Each structure stands twice: as C-alpha cells, then as structure tokens.
C-alpha cells in the first residue's frame, strides 16, 4: 500500500533545523540522504554543485527514497519537484529518511 511523504513539498519549515541546513548547505543534506538509501555520500554531495547533472542525480535519489519508503509518485512528479524547488524536495526527503538526525552518541 502506497502512502505520501510525511511532510508536504512546501512544508520545509516543519523541521526548521533541516530547513536551515538544507538552505545553506544543500550538498550536505543530499549526501546524508544518499547515504541513508545506500548511495555514495561524497559523490552525491559533490554532484549537487554540477548544473544539469545535479537534476538527474537528485531525481534518481528521490526515486530511490520513494521506492524504499513505498511512497506514491512518478518520475514526472520527482523531476518537477527537483527542478521547481530543489531545497524543498531535499527537506522533504531528509525528513522522510531521517537523514539529519544526530543519532546515538559514541560511548567513551
């Protein structure tokens, strides 16, 4: 059974921390999302800075998030989301996969 994203595309301010990090350092957010879905963190983070190639790679990662989380959508909606508002799409994906969570502290 398909479902929708937990946060709407323009719900960027739903998690203000994710919003601020994504606005100022989108390459970091993209790298963390890629890592959560099994892709190379560094490569995806760097690709965000390359025009045109970034659209393709952001689309493919978004598609992978949707597939892994069983979220309804299509390639067209993914491409439009990435092209119209990259930061909003990244925020939506980051919240979905919990990409920017601080995680467990390291025991000393």
Residue 71 pairs in a beta bridge with 3
| Residue 106, pLDDT above cutoff 60 | no
When pLDDT is cut at 50, 70 and 90, the band that residue 1 belongs to is low
Neighbours of 5 (CB within 10 A): 19
pLDDT digits (tens, 9 = 90+) for 48-102: 888 899 999 999 999 999 999 999 999 999 999 999 999 999 999 999 998 777 6
Token reading at 43: 């490569």
Long-range Cβ pairs for the range 16-19 (8 Å, 24+): 17/100, 18/91, 18/94, 18/95, 18/100, 19/91
| Residue 104, pLDDT above cutoff 60 | no
Neighbours of 66 (CB within 10 A): 21
Q: What's the burial of 44, exposed, middle or buried (CB within 10 Å: 0-12/13-18/19+)?
A: buried
Looking at residue 3, the DSSP 8-state letter turns out to be B
Total-model pTM = 0.85
Distance separating alpha carbons of residues 100 and 2, to the nearest angstrom: 24
Q: Say what the pLDDT of residue 8 is.
A: 86
Q: Where are the domains of the chain?
A: 12-97
Q: Say what the pLDDT of residue 105 is.
A: 47
């Amino acid at each position: 059974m398909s479902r929708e994203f937990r946060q709407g595309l323009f719900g960027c301010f739903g998690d203000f921390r994710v919003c601020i990090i994504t606005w100022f350092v989108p390459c970091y957010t993209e790298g963390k999302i890629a890592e959560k879905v099994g892709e190379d963190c560094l490569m995806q983070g760097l690709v965000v800075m390359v025009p045109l190639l970034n659209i393709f790679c952001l689309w493919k990662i978004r598609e992978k998030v949707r597939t892994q989380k069983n979220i309804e959508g299509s390639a067209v909606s993914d491409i439009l989301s990435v092209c119209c508002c990259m930061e909003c799409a990244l925020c939506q994906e980051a919240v979905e996969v919990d990409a920017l969570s601080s995680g467990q502290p390291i025991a000393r």
